[in-house]
Structure 1
């Protein structure tokens, strides 16, 4: 289904501009593009930060700027063939994120500037919650509006809609330090999850084949689990019992944000719609939640087992 039909990589020196390269999604994309032989340029606020320096040392070209500085964005786009666009959102908390209005404005501006700059291929990362009609959550609906705008533009564009990140499950506050795990799903309810590391591999494949993926929206996920699966997998990884239960009614009543996310899962909006078998053809190294817990997620999981703290969606 996902065999390459294009040959965007005939020139091995094509350059991709990556927004958010010091964060989770952009960092995954920058790493995967480097491994695939692309030239990578990163748009960063502080070239002297430890994450920016690590990117530079890995071979990434750094371009300093800010979303609000249109000229810096325009300069960063000069001479690039493709752009990976991601913006912080209000869902990441007041310290890390933008307001919903800022996220929408900057996401649209980047797409418009890509057209102005003659960029060949724009890849925008949205969210798996986007679908028919608004969700009622600003940081999801802002992405839907950016998607809608991109589809009106005269540019080859691809949209990826990530499922919930596996990394979110090992944040403090879900109870792992107390031998339990509370989450959105009922014990028998399915929910797709995505390893952040897999995002970059999908995006690299999309950039490599604009003929196949231009104009397409791709739901991406790495695995599907139920609440019972999480109980078994966490118990296996911890070497001791980890009991699973859905958030209690008391918790959901006290936290409107959690309650709304839980409702969206029940409605199917957060359950995930990715064709994982087809995605495995695109990325044969697709990670299951079990393999992620044993591999790149192991360190964070062990830390979560011994770290108490309040649930903080801002670090998801």
Structure 2
């Protein structure tokens, strides 16, 4: 495997994916540069304290991005998407394309783009995934070594409000006997760092990343054990799906096999032997947020994106 003393530029380093990648890169000895909007924020300060070089700028600040990329070896690119409520679909696509184009212009040796697990080379009919399809297509046409990772749904999202844990139940996309691949956010960087470290193996590749696969029935058992009381699993009710076009489309993608996930877990375990299962997440990093979710009533705005 190769290793470079040149830095990796990480976008989204104050968020989930970029934060996971920055942490893994630092642990492996890579210099890391992060493009941040607010260098004085608590999250930016934590990055600086960990050894990350900060460059102030936004996704539209080409001068700041060029400054960050100058002399860098690689770039990890991830963008906010429309469901965040902060950007439009077109803004996401523009940012993804612009970062890729600047990586070429700045002589970056290896670009890693984080897409989405349900993305394919043809449209899914959901803008949340089809924006990423457009960015992927642009990257593949560029004269740069690039790797595209497609993360599965995050294990961490299971404890978001609105799925029913506070009512002793859990509602999600799969049928009770249907399996779905999930990914611990902590593992994202543990897959991405080896990609940068072995460009010959991973350059030009597109692959899904996940860290576990569970059925609805298995989630019921895991959540019940973690809660110390019964948590009943059920797929979203038909009336809920009728009221939410967003949920209905995602559930349809689950049945089509796209949202269910097709990652090669055996190969991924070779890349990251310590990848985290749902059980391990519930016993570790997820323990506190899970217990909070059991007590926190709330709703999630499903009709986003």
Normalised to the residue count of structure 2, the TM-score between the two structures is 0.98
Given the alignment of the two structures, is residue 228 of structure 1 paired with residue 217 of structure 2, yes or no? yes
Gaps of 5+ in 2: none
Structure 2: distance between partners of 1:240 and 1:39? 46
Q: Shift of the alpha carbon at 1:219?
A: 0.8
SS of aligned partner of 1:104: helix
> May I ask how many residue pairs the two structures share in their alignment?
304
Structure 2: distance between partners of 1:231 and 1:282? 29
Given the alignment of the two structures, is residue 247 of structure 1 paired with residue 239 of structure 2, yes or no? no
Given the alignment of the two structures, is residue 27 of structure 1 paired with residue 19 of structure 2, yes or no? yes
Given the alignment of the two structures, is residue 62 of structure 1 paired with residue 62 of structure 2, yes or no? no
**1:3 aligns to what?**
none
> Higher relative CO (CA 8 A, sep ≥ 6), structure 1 or 2?
1
**1:305 aligns to what?**
294
Q: Shift of the alpha carbon at 1:50?
A: 0.6
RMSD, aligned CA: 1.2
Structure 2: distance between partners of 1:174 and 1:185? 13
Structure 1: distance between partners of 2:160 and 2:243? 20
Q: Shift of the alpha carbon at 1:14?
A: 2.3
Contact 2:164–2:171 (CA under 8 A) maintained in structure 1: yes
Contact 1:77–1:114 (CA under 8 A) maintained in structure 2: yes
Q: Shift of the alpha carbon at 1:311?
A: 1.8
Q: Shift of the alpha carbon at 1:73?
A: 1.4
Write out the 4+ residue segments of structure 1 that deviate beyond 6 Å after TM superposition: none
Structure 2: distance between partners of 1:191 and 1:14? 38
Normalised to the residue count of structure 1, the TM-score between the two structures is 0.94
Structure 2: distance between partners of 1:31 and 1:91? 25
Given the alignment of the two structures, is residue 272 of structure 1 paired with residue 247 of structure 2, yes or no? no
**1:185 aligns to what?**
174
Q: Shift of the alpha carbon at 1:312?
A: 4.0
Given the alignment of the two structures, is residue 206 of structure 1 paired with residue 189 of structure 2, yes or no? no
1:249-280 residue CA offsets vs partner (Å, 9 max, x unmatched): 11111111111111111111101010001111
Structure 1: distance between partners of 2:169 and 2:146? 43
Structure 2: distance between partners of 1:231 and 1:66? 41
SS of aligned partner of 1:302: helix
Gaps of 5+ in 1: 1-5
SS of aligned partner of 2:59: coil
Given the alignment of the two structures, is residue 14 of structure 1 paired with residue 1 of structure 2, yes or no? no
**1:117 aligns to what?**
106
